[in-house]
Amino acid sequence: MTSLAPPSPGLILPYAATVPAATSPPPAPVANVARLVRIQASTHWLLEELHALRGSIDLKTHYRLAEMDRALTEQLDEILDMSLRSELHHLVDHPPIDDSSQDEIRIALAQLEGWIGGLLGGLAMSGPNTADHSPT
């Protein structure tokens, strides 16, 4: 039985230059798709509740809705890559809470829900390797 000795250090293999270096896949545009889906569901149900109230909300509810809108955007910031965060902030321009009307809040939430829906659709079209599907 013969054993194969490792090549000598000075030996240059002709195919060594053609072996591609191991590359890692590009980072996912969304760090956690499950969390993105939960954020979209929250936004959707906030809009449903707001439509059911038909504009008859008190000042305390108005402030709470505006804060929830901002909180949803902050949660998105935590899971989006830099280019998507930039796109989100370009799209979502929050007026100061005191200056925002119920209609402005409703429009902001609808815009956010639509953007997230488009993002999820784009991720689905891109294939399974575009995001981390971790359950957290």
**Phi–psi pair at 33, nearest 5 degrees:** -65, -35
> Containing domain of residue 33, as a range?
29-126
Mean pLDDT of all residues in the chain?
77
Which pTM value belongs to this model?
0.68
Helix (H) or strand (E) holding 47: helix 33-53
Q: Is residue 120 part of a domain?
A: yes
Q: Does residue 131 lie in a domain region?
A: no
State both tokens at 6: 């490792």
49 inside domain = yes
For the chain, the domain total comes to 1
The C-alpha atoms of residue 71 and residue 90 are separated, in whole angstroms, by 17
Rounded Cα distance, 39 and 112, in Å: 10
Type of residue at 119:
L
At 55 the pLDDT is 67
Give domain status of residue 43, yes or no.
Answer: yes
Q: What is the pLDDT of residue 20?
A: 56
Per-residue pLDDT tens over the stretch 55-104 = 678 888 888 888 888 898 899 999 999 999 999 988 877 666 667 777 88
Ordered alpha helix ranges (H), 54-132: 59-79, 82-91, 102-126
